[in-house]
Structure 1
């Protein structure tokens, strides 16, 4: 069995590569997808496709419509979602992706540190599983293969 897992979360460090490596070490058959991790490409995609926009509002709107399209398609194809909330960045996109996964009834593993228990209590309550580390998230996925 091969799973497709969408990795929702901030794009400013290598946590996705760590998740992929942990899955590989356990020989889990998982195809990972996620948001566009090239920040410049994500910010510029609207103008790259639709042309120069008149100001920042329209530039962001054009990019977000295309990024939202991409996210919706990939979330729809996912068997499960891992949503990582860290402490170093604002997590609006992660919250949006996790909420979209819940609306689509995709199984959701929420990864959040102890310091975010209170601010994420409602989202955590809706997730299928809440863990504190990506290692624990991989253990949850690994359990599917037993």
Structure 2
């Protein structure tokens, strides 16, 4: 049985690659999906589809609509969500994705360093599991299919 995991979180580091490679090395039956990782494409998709917008706010609104569409479809198809909260980037989208997944009953694993325990305590309390590293998340995935 193959399961699909939505990887929510910042798109600027290689954490998704780490999860995918380690899962593959352990021969775990998971497929991975997530947000558009090409930042320029994500920012410009509204204009690519609808044409030039009259200003930055409209450009962002148009892009957000298509990015939210993508997220909704992929998250709906996913069996579970892993949401990574790192220390370097703002995490508004990650919090939104984790909350949306929890609201529709998707199982959620949160990855966050110990220093983010306090600001994420309520979200962690609602998640199915909270870990501190990608390796711990991989162990949780492996346990699901053991």
Q: TM-score range by the shorter chain?
A: over 0.9
1:131-146 mapped onto 2 (5 Å cutoff): 131-146=131-146
The equivalent residue for 2:72 is 72
Give the deviation of 1:145 after TM superposition.
1.7
Query: Runs (4+) of structure 1 moved beyond 4 Å?
Result: none
SS at match of 1:11: coil
Give the deviation of 1:29 after TM superposition.
1.1
Cα-Cα RMSD? 0.5
Structure 2 unaligned residues grouped into runs of 5+: none
What CA distance in whole angstroms lies between the structure 2 residues aligned with 1:137 and 1:14? 15
Question: What is the TM-score normalised by the length of structure 2?
Answer: 0.99
| CA deviations over 1:99-128 (Å, ceiling 9, x no partner) | 111011100000000000000000000000
Structure 1 unaligned residues grouped into runs of 5+: none
What CA distance in whole angstroms lies between the structure 1 residues aligned with 2:136 and 2:3? 17
* Number of residue pairs the alignment of both structures matches: 146
The equivalent residue for 2:55 is 55
Question: What is the TM-score normalised by the length of structure 1?
Answer: 0.99
| CA deviations over 1:74-105 (Å, ceiling 9, x no partner) | 00000000000000000011001101110111
1:3-42 mapped onto 2 (5 Å cutoff): 3-42=3-42
